[in-house]
């Protein structure tokens, strides 16, 4: 978890603008899907820079309240700076229990945060517990199976060129299962087990094409804790050496070279009655 916190603390100032504002577009889409109503009480788990929670706070209005939880002080500082009066933020180490009474909220959201939690299924059960009967849940998740050949090749290069020699051991997820949470069938099944009915999924696919190994490294450094921990420590010479390896790898991919995709799954569901 320390590497996750370090990533989000160091990346907080760039998070909103990364990849041409991708995180903002994802947050906006999730807001559209969960449809916050005036006067509602909302919990945003893993709120980050407040892209989701601050917009929801505007929509629930002064009679509503949004509570955002995150483990990164750097991200929360950005959220606080833009927060409406009815948005409150808490620094918290999320494990397997939310610190709220039963039936406290009308809506719970996870904006690209569930896979970073140590116990994601427990958090879904906790979301059900703190929701009122008929309350809603909304999530955005990366669908990692949609990665391009260029992305897969780059992660292989990281393994071969950096991971074995790097002094840090940086897991990509707590387990391989965390990387599958963005698969529609997987997250629908988990939500049903956790006590939600009628999960509905939609998808968003976007992407860019970079033009050089150095530009590719700069983009991929912002993808998550694992590449960031490996790439942020490289000096200029090592970065150029890695860029040369990347460029040789990309030459083998023809039209797929330097093509980067981000696929997101959005899920909404309703809490079952107790």
Q: Are 227 and 141 found together in one domain?
A: no
User: pLDDT by residue for the chain (274 residues), tens digit each?
Assistant: 578 898 999 999 999 999 899 999 999 999 999 999 999 999 999 999 999 999 999 999 999 999 999 999 999 999 999 999 999 999 998 878 999 999 999 999 999 999 999 899 999 999 999 999 999 999 999 998 888 999 999 989 888 877 655 554 455 544 557 789 999 999 999 999 999 999 999 999 988 899 999 999 999 999 888 888 888 888 899 899 999 999 999 999 999 999 999 999 999 999 987 6
The end-to-end CA distance of the chain, in Å, is 33
Q: Are 34 and 97 found together in one domain?
A: yes
Q: Are 244 and 133 found together in one domain?
A: no
* Residue 225 vs residues 66, 116, 176, 229, 231: alpha-carbon distances, Å: 27, 10, 15, 6, 10
Q: Are 162 and 78 found together in one domain?
A: no
Q: Are 151 and 98 found together in one domain?
A: no
Q: Are 60 and 190 found together in one domain?
A: yes
Q: Are 88 and 220 found together in one domain?
A: no
Q: What is the CATH number of the domain that holds 102?
A: 3.40.50.150
pLDDT at position 172 is: 52
Q: Produce one character per residue of 210-223: b if its CB has 16 or more CB atoms within 10 Å, e if not.
A: beebbebbebbbbb
Q: Are 12 and 104 found together in one domain?
A: yes
Task: Please give the tally of structural domains in the chain.
Answer: 2
Q: Are 127 and 17 found together in one domain?
A: yes
Q: Are 54 and 179 found together in one domain?
A: yes
Q: Are 193 and 219 found together in one domain?
A: no
SS3 of residue 222 by DSSP: coil
Q: Are 151 and 21 found together in one domain?
A: no
Find the domain containing 201 and state its range: 2-145+172-207+261-271
């Amino acid at each position: 978890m320390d590497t996750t916190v370090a990533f989000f603390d160091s990346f907080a100032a760039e998070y909103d603008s990364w990849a041409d504002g991708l995180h903002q577009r994802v947050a906006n889409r999730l807001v559209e899907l969960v449809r916050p109503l005036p006067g509602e009480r909302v919990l945003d788990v893993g709120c980050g820079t407040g892209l989701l929670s601050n917009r929801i706070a505007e929509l629930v209005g002064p009679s509503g309240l949004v509570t955002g939880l995150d483990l990164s002080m750097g991200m929360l500082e950005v959220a606080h700076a833009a927060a409406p009066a009815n948005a409150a933020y808490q620094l918290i180490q999320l494990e397997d229990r939310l610190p709220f009474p039963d039936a406290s909220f009308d809506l719970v959201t996870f904006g690209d945060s569930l896979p970073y939690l140590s116990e994601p299924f427990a958090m879904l059960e906790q979301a059900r517990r703190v929701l009122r009967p008929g309350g809603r849940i909304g999530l955005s998740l990366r669908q990692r199976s949609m990665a391009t050949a260029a992305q897969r090749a780059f992660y292989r290069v990281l393994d071969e060129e950096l991971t074995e020699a790097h002094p840090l051991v940086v897991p990509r997820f707590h387990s391989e299962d965390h990387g599958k949470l963005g698969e529609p069938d997987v997250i629908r099944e988990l939500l049903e087990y956790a006590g939600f009915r009628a999960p509905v999924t939609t998808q968003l696919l976007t992407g860019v094409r970079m033009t050089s190994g150095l530009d590719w490294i700069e983009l991929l450094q912002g993808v998550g804790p694992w590449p960031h921990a490996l790439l942020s420590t490289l000096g200029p010479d090592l970065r150029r050496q890695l860029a040369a390896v990347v460029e040789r790898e990309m030459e083998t991919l023809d039209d797929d070279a330097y093509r980067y995709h981000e696929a997101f799954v959005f899920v909404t569901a309703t809490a079952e009655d107790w």
